[in-house]
Structure 1
Amino acid sequence: MTCFRPSSHPTIRLALHIRRPAMAATLLAAALALGGCKEPTRADAPPPERPVRVATVAYTNAAETRDFVGVVRARTESALGFRVGGKLVERPVDVGDRVTAGQVVAKLDHTDLGLQVASAEAELSAARSSYAQAKSDEARYASLRSRGFAPVAEYERKKSALDAAASRVEQARRSLDLARNQLDYGDLQADADGVVVSVGAEPGQVVATGQTVVTIARDGPREALVALPEAWLAEARRAEATVSLWAEGDHRYAATLRELAPQADPATRTYAARFEILSDDDAAPALGMTATVTLALPGEGPVARLPLAAVMNNGQGPAVFVVDPATSTLDRRPVALKGFTEDVAMVQSGLDAGERVVTLGVHQLREGVAVRVLDGG
């Protein structure tokens, strides 16, 4: 018990200074009655329970998964361009149009190409005339030589002239074939069935040889094109891949890795990867759709996934606080971690399924503290 000192009470000090004995005695008695001794608080009272949120331990497969967002592309995209230069006069197809093999998708001005064909035809006609004259001279000198009226050297010259004329005829014929091919090249044709995904030139534009005019995505397998970081290059080859489309909700397609770039992109430092989407042609996803490729690595035993905030480490290794169901107190439990992500810790051992682990504020708690589990935790 703690008592007050009478000399320190203001009422008693006032009574001591009052000269009238009766009044001073009355005030002194009142002060003593009001002061008395104070009853102290009990030091052995139990501390209040700490409210905590918990998570129930459940072991699942330890397969690590990672999602990569990309787009749906055709396996083969043909960038078509003219094999000769010229002025583009017609492009009968546009983006989104379906084309078939052999269909004309663009045309050049044929005026100059037609003139080249006419010139080659004239050269061939002239070469044939020269060949006919040389052949006649060779036959005549052969007859004279057989009768002894022409020297051998003169006959040899006529025979050489005939051989040269024959070569010029062959050269003119090849030039005519080339000119006709170039005339055919003035019509750009689709090399396979597919759909036009982009155009690179408009009518009236002068295009160079090889310049892309139309890009066609061929019919056939569809693929998901994604960018992989360096850490997932080896894992991508052994992981199980699935593809989901943003437009189709939870539906997933099986997929396989078909192509992995050998060199990183210089800007993003990632590697382009193509995953073939295994589906029927009728159910093939549309080109350009947003695709999410999920890579799942093979599991190596069960793990319990807990919030990363539930794990503490004070220099003695990772540990968690487990709520004792009998006493509602905390038990510090060392655990072994298989790994962790940005917000999840994967516990490999140290906990039993069904136990409840504190998930928030573990660094402000201590072992043996009484706790109260909040609703929903």
Structure 2
Amino acid sequence: MPTAIPSMMTAPGRLRFGGLGLLLLTLTGCGDSAPAQNAGPPPRPVQVTTVAFRPSEADRTFVGVIRARRESDLSFRVGGKVVQRLVDVGDRVKAGQVIARMDPEDLRLELQSAEAEFSAARANLAQTTSEDKRYSTLTQRGFASTADQERKGLAKEEAVGRLDRAQRALDLARNKLAYADLVSTVDGVVVSTSAEPGQVVSSGQTVARVAPLDEKEAVVALPETALALARASEARVTLWAEPGRGIPAKLRELSPQADATTRTYAARFSLEGADDTVALGMTATVTLRPAGTAQVASLPLSAVFDKGLGPHVFVVDPASKAIAARPVAVVGYTDRAVLVAGGLSTGESVVAMGAQTLEPGRVVRTVSAQ
């Protein structure tokens, strides 16, 4: 006979539990434990931008060159043959130092001629003076006519004038001989030479150019659209040789007429406190910053929201990554940004997109915005 399966039913509607039934009940009871506690929403990823304040009006830069404020063209005051040039380009000179020498032979002969003429004029004066006295005495005694006495007196006056002219000619000849040595009139550096030994130069022809080093300037060419900016801006000069160094500058001279070729205006900016490291001829960049320009931060348009309490932004706390709403002062808009003048500090992180969908206190995961 087939083995009978033990029935779990002892009576209608009643179950009979064995060891297997107890195991099933135990497993069912374990599934009814209390649900795990809610850990909260995960950090929401948001794009952020870093606050950086800059002038509301962009600076303008112009390339120029370092020059001395004054340059002296040195030349002989008389013409002649150059026999010696004692300096070269780049040499430092002192006031009174000899720059070049001219052949003095002709000037020395001219001086000797003037000295001889002066001696003759002095002797002539002595003779005419003696004759004038003698004829004056003879006229008083009646031995000479008044006309003769007057002629002697006029001869004496002429001799006085001749001696005076000879004295002037002698002084001029001495000066000319002294002009044979060309001396510097200022302390500075020789920036150019234009005469060589053996060359015959005329009076006033430039032999050397000396630039004083006490005042230096940056010379730039400005377009006509930048003239008003140059007059009303703060200027700063940087050298290509030292790009990290800025030298305060001030507009000293602006040409009233444009250059006929370039149609630009020459502007000279004097440098304040320029030392010997600022050499003449260096390439410089003049930066013009409008005076009184406000500092503003440029933020994306989507970073600012207004829920009836004025413009706000969400600032991300660097430690907790929680966001907080902060009011800001908006001063203007561009096609892609909003300009903020107050309420933020440089270096803070601001939510750049989706600020309208966030709530204060929300923890976020930041991603830098492009």
Q: TM-score band (shorter)?
A: 0.5 to 0.7
CA distance in 1 between counterparts of 2:277 and 2:142 reads 84
- CA deviation digits over 1:155-194, x for unaligned, max 9? 1111111111110111011111111111111110011111
User: Which of 97, 101, 118 lines up with 2:95 in the alignment?
Assistant: 101
2:49 touches 2:368 (CA, 8 Å); kept in 1? no
| RMSD (Å), alpha carbons | 3.1
Q: How does 1:98-177 map to 2 (within 5 A)?
A: 98-177=92-171
Confirm or deny that 1:191 pairs with 2:185.
yes
Q: Which amino acid aligns with 1:293?
A: V
CA distance in 2 between counterparts of 1:346 and 1:179 reads 80
Confirm or deny that 1:291 pairs with 2:259.
no
Q: Which one has a bigger Cα radius of gyration? A: 2
| Residue 76 of structure 2: aligned partner | 82
- CA deviation digits over 1:257-295, x for unaligned, max 9? 1222222221111121111111164x5511111111111
Larger helix share, 1 or 2? 1
TM-score, normalising length from structure 1? 0.66
Confirm or deny that 1:242 pairs with 2:236.
yes
Q: Which amino acid aligns with 2:128?
A: A
TM-score, normalising length from structure 2? 0.68
2:82 touches 2:198 (CA, 8 Å); kept in 1? yes
Q: Which amino acid aligns with 1:291?
A: A
CA distance in 2 between counterparts of 1:324 and 1:217 reads 58
Gaps of 5+ in 1: 1-52, 307-319, 326-334, 358-373
- CA deviation digits over 1:270-329, x for unaligned, max 9? 121111111164x551111111111110245455569xxxxxxxxxxxxx975899xxxx
**Secondary structure of 1:296's aligned partner:** strand
How many residues are matched?
281
CA distance in 2 between counterparts of 1:291 and 1:355 reads 41
Q: Which moved more, 1:175-184 or 1:61-70?
A: 61-70
CA distance in 1 between counterparts of 2:64 and 2:302 reads 42
2:352 touches 2:369 (CA, 8 Å); kept in 1? no
Provide the identity percentage: 53
| Residue 200 of structure 1: aligned partner | 194
| Residue 222 of structure 2: aligned partner | 228
CA distance in 1 between counterparts of 2:368 and 2:198 reads 73
**Secondary structure of 2:279's aligned partner:** coil
Q: How does 1:1-377 map to 2 (within 5 A)?
A: 60-279=54-273, 281=275, 285-303=278-296, 322=302, 354=350, 356=352, 377=370
CA distance in 1 between counterparts of 2:258 and 2:242 reads 31
CA distance in 1 between counterparts of 2:228 and 2:120 reads 67
